[in-house]
Structure 1
Amino acid sequence: MKLFLAFPAVFLLLFSGFRLSFSSRWLQLRSFTDAISCLLKNRGAEFSSLAALCAIVGGNLGVGNLSGTAVALRAGGPGFIVWMVFIIILTSIIKYATCYISIRTREERNGRTFGGPVVYSQHAFKTKWASLAVAIITMVCAVTVGNLVQVNSLSISMHLIGQSPLSAGIVMAIALFIVTNLGSLGRVVSRVVPAMTIFYIVLAGLTLGKFGSNIIPSLKLILESALSLSSLRDGAILALVAETFTIIQVGALRGIFATDIGLGLEGTVHSMVVSKNVVNSNFATQQSLVSIISPFIVALVTFITTLVLLTTGVWTDLSLESTNMCFAAFTSAFGKHYTEYALIALVFCFSLTTILTWFICSKEVLAYVSHNNRFMEKCWTALFFFIIPLGSLGGVSLLWDIADISISISIIINTLGILLLLNRYKKEMFSALSKDSSKE
């Protein structure tokens, strides 16, 4: 079932990535500096452009970017990262298109602004049932990808500090309850996400500094593995083809999962940003440009993580897997004790921000299809919080299988919706950016 759904999902993303990249003349690369300049617009809004970006980055930088990198390195070899970065660059334009169409089709209900796949899907498929389908699958993804999987990955490392796995789920539920009652979630993510990202990059940089002599050999190993040069030197053509296919497949899947491309989160979140000048025709372009920044941040973090695992040599230890491999890499540089506590705190923040982003998006889609039914929102909030501790008790493989299936279904629905609406918005979406495109 998982493989049956994964193939069309990946194919749709790659097809859409190629089509949109060439149609836009690789806008995700040539307009990256414009995206940076748009980042600080709408700063006075309740939910700003910066808050939207931080929410998406927080959603992307879950525990999966640590444990998932270790798993991909073991499954596809060091070369997976080359293909992963390529896939991220190629498909990041889908985030732009998703965000643009989401903002152009957003609706207002009872003083709240809604957008994203839950809204544009009914325009694409010409039925209101499409919105209900998107809402249901988004909520399933929120429970699996954005909740249970995050807590499960966090709980794996709790034994390092002598705590039970269940404690991770209980503390996470309490933390999320506190954070969601602080007031502006936009301000919370705008502070937590940059801090945790910078802290992780600095920690990884210090680790690479300690193993600096291994950086060049590791980069060579990455290139050789990406091109399967070992099989080529041995003259094993079939082995070369099989090895290359495996590496590309692992890189593609990791790039898609790490960035949440095709899941439509950016459309939902950026639609929450309210323009101070609603008649400004450049607003949709501004928000869409901001949305392409997050995949590049994820690519940077994943590439650095891969280098850390390679330079420290822990990736060859078959007794290590998932999150534990990453912990072993950092503790080999700084020792145990305080390092383990710092890493668990960091992983906790990664998990918390991912859960928070999915919680925000799931509440938005539920509010849209239920016409702002407060009772249903409260029931969903209670259920979401109650489920969190269960993630520390579930089986790893079962949780990931359910997550993969829900991701594939979401990608298929959302990407088809984008392709069906593309002709309607293609001209204005990819028109040359005006000189005022970064002004509000």
Structure 2
Amino acid sequence: MGFFDTILNAINDLTWGWALIPFLVILGCFFTISSGFVQFRFFKRMFRVLGRSPDSDPNQISARAALLVSVGGRVGGGNIAGVAVAITAGGPGAVFWMWAIALIGMCSALVEATLAQAFKRSEDGGAYRGGPAQAIVYGLGQNYRWLAVVYAVCLIASFAIGFNAFQGNTVAGAALDSLSIPRLYTGAFLAVATGLIVYGGIHRIAKVADVMIPVMAIGYLGMAVVVILLNITGLPGVIWDIVANAFGFREAVAGGVGAAIAQGLRRGLFSNEAGLGSAPNVAATAYVRHPVSQGITQSFSVFIDTIIVCSSTAFIILLGDVYQPGAEGVDGVVLTQQSLVSHVGSWAQYFLTAAIFLFSFSSIMYNYYLGENALNFMTKKPIAVHILRIAIIGIVFLGAVAPGATAVFNFSDPMMGILAVVNLLALMMMFPIALRLINDFRSQLDSGMKRPVFDPKAFPDLDTDPTAWPDAPK
């Protein structure tokens, strides 16, 4: 066991330790500049997805539904506990760098979702399936299938297995601490709920997300707004602290600017997942008229996750008096919980437990679909999907009932590191394709077309599926 731990730690050091985060940042900046700052150019257009399209097909996964599923996956423990860790270790300045990496990551998310949409395939019943694995095979060619397989294996290992165990553990721990509910009961409830969802496939996941995610987001953001209004006079000072600590005008923790940048970038990337290759699997399921349309939607998902939800947690912490810069002790979800209690009263700990449950359960649904999509790429046998579903139900239960058992899943971080490296390599090689699609979308808008349409015949060199684009000119 020690041998495997050594290997996994080495992989983790080689990816997350020093190489991957600069790689993500540099590549995100390159995409942003090369695309003409596309995430800002199309920013107003992002909000259109919040409404329901009048001509949407109820049998299809809409852009809005895909957005909610991906938001449900991105918004999780990182938005509650991760932000608290970033502030504790990096000071208030870490929040600024979380904002910065989100603005850059919005472009990476747009590019990877656009490519996933471009190379998606139609399935029986009119559903669509795609993602980075399919994009690698159809965008780069069969010679790179081995790279797609490496990606798929790492996606299953990190998200479907490891992260689902962690989510179950997070919910059970919160329920035990605030409600004194034994882990066994929480684990059994989560296992049953997970089973009901995963056996319904992506359509049931999308329907549940369509109801649960808005309730989750509005509830948590509403609480943040209450806290901000109660402390409105202190808001300018908090914003100044964030900026001052980010640029070293004022140091809150040991390490100064370096600690703020490191923690902000790391926690921001972990939270919004931009460039890691996870969300495109969901993005490819949506029915849209043009691949870039869903790219814009996924870019908006990063904005919601970090600029809105993570900022809400940051303001809850920084507007209170529980957090003391440089002090040791209160950390993670406990810091967020105690800060919220200090603002509105002890009942807030129960509210936060409910929020953690919704955040974590939405992530479980999301993580399951990522695993299913990766497995579908490797094998079409129905028995394989059934085995995966049963395994995930068991993993959620195990993670919930056994606090120490999640140590078994410590391979998640290095697996996600390899996953991100593979995805970023593929994005670099396929970026010229994404740029052609972005320019096509932009030229249609410039010609006066309000809703651009993708025409596979205009890109004969791309291995696209014409049946996946029913709106294309006949």
Question: Is this a same-fold pair by TM over 0.5?
Answer: yes
Mean alpha-carbon deviation: is it higher for 397-406 or for 289-298? 397-406
1:306 to 306, 314, 326: 314
Letter matched to residue 197 of structure 2: V
Give the equivalent residue in structure 2 for 1:187: 207
* 1:26 equivalenced with 2:37 (yes/no): yes
The Cα shift of 1:320 comes to 2.0
Q: Per-residue displacement from partner, 1:330-382 (whole Å, max 9, x unpaired)?
A: 1222222x4332221111000000110111121112112102x1100000000
Secondary structure of 2:329 counterpart: coil
Mean alpha-carbon deviation: is it higher for 418-427 or for 92-101? 418-427
* 1:75 equivalenced with 2:89 (yes/no): yes
Question: TM-score w.r.t. structure 1 length?
Answer: 0.89
1:117 to 132, 137, 143: 132
Give the equivalent residue in structure 2 for 1:104: 118
Contact 2:198-2:389 at 8 Å conserved across structures: no
Question: Closer, same or farther in 2 for the Cα pair 1:366/1:292, shift >3 Å?
Answer: same
Question: Closer, same or farther in 2 for the Cα pair 1:73/1:433, shift >3 Å?
Answer: farther
Give the equivalent residue in structure 1 for 2:13: 3
Alpha-carbon separation, structure 2, partners of 1:153 and 1:430: 43
Question: Closer, same or farther in 2 for the Cα pair 1:328/1:396, shift >3 Å?
Answer: farther
The Cα shift of 1:398 comes to 4.2
Q: Per-residue displacement from partner, 1:123-171 (whole Å, max 9, x unpaired)?
A: 4373322222121111012235531222222233222212234443332
Question: Closer, same or farther in 2 for the Cα pair 1:38/1:212, shift >3 Å?
Answer: closer
Contact 1:263-1:414 at 8 Å conserved across structures: yes
Give the equivalent residue in structure 2 for 1:138: 155
Letter matched to residue 295 of structure 1: V
Alpha-carbon separation, structure 1, partners of 2:409 and 2:152: 21
1:390 to 393, 398, 410: 398
Contact 2:76-2:359 at 8 Å conserved across structures: yes
Alpha-carbon separation, structure 2, partners of 1:398 and 1:26: 41
Mean alpha-carbon deviation: is it higher for 261-270 or for 20-29? 261-270
Letter matched to residue 306 of structure 1: A
Question: Closer, same or farther in 2 for the Cα pair 1:64/1:230, shift >3 Å?
Answer: closer
Contact 2:93-2:247 at 8 Å conserved across structures: yes
The 5 A counterparts of 1:254-269 are 254-269=267-282
Give the equivalent residue in structure 1 for 2:291: 284
Alpha-carbon separation, structure 2, partners of 1:390 and 1:402: 16
Question: TM-score w.r.t. structure 2 length?
Answer: 0.83
Mean alpha-carbon deviation: is it higher for 292-301 or for 169-178? 169-178
The Cα shift of 1:184 comes to 2.6
Alpha-carbon separation, structure 2, partners of 1:341 and 1:38: 32
Alpha-carbon separation, structure 2, partners of 1:245 and 1:124: 38
Contact 2:399-2:405 at 8 Å conserved across structures: no
Alpha-carbon separation, structure 1, partners of 2:309 and 2:75: 8
Mean alpha-carbon deviation: is it higher for 33-42 or for 347-356? 33-42
Give the equivalent residue in structure 2 for 1:164: 182
The 5 A counterparts of 1:32-431 are 32-38=43-49, 40-41=52-53, 43-45=56-58, 46-108=60-122, 113-122=128-137, 123-124=139-140, 126-144=143-161, 146-157=163-174, 158-181=176-199, 184-230=204-250, 242-275=255-288, 282-299=289-306, 300-316=308-324, 318-336=328-346, 338-371=347-380, 373-392=381-400, 393-395=402-404, 398=407, 401-431=410-440
The Cα shift of 1:201 comes to 0.4
Question: Closer, same or farther in 2 for the Cα pair 1:223/1:93, shift >3 Å?
Answer: same
Aligned length: 425
Give the equivalent residue in structure 2 for 1:278: none
The Cα shift of 1:285 comes to 1.8
Letter matched to residue 263 of structure 2: V
Question: Closer, same or farther in 2 for the Cα pair 1:397/1:148, shift >3 Å?
Answer: closer
Alpha-carbon separation, structure 1, partners of 2:190 and 2:338: 23
Question: Closer, same or farther in 2 for the Cα pair 1:273/1:345, shift >3 Å?
Answer: same
Alpha-carbon separation, structure 2, partners of 1:103 and 1:118: 12
Secondary structure of 1:230 counterpart: coil
The Cα shift of 1:294 comes to 0.6
Q: Which consecutive residues of structure 2, in runs of 5 or more, have no partner in the other structure?
A: 1-9, 454-474
Alpha-carbon separation, structure 1, partners of 2:332 and 2:291: 39
The Cα shift of 1:36 comes to 2.1
Alpha-carbon separation, structure 1, partners of 2:98 and 2:15: 20
Contact 1:68-1:322 at 8 Å conserved across structures: yes
Secondary structure of 1:89 counterpart: helix
Q: Which consecutive residues of structure 1, in runs of 5 or more, have no partner in the other structure?
A: 233-238, 276-281
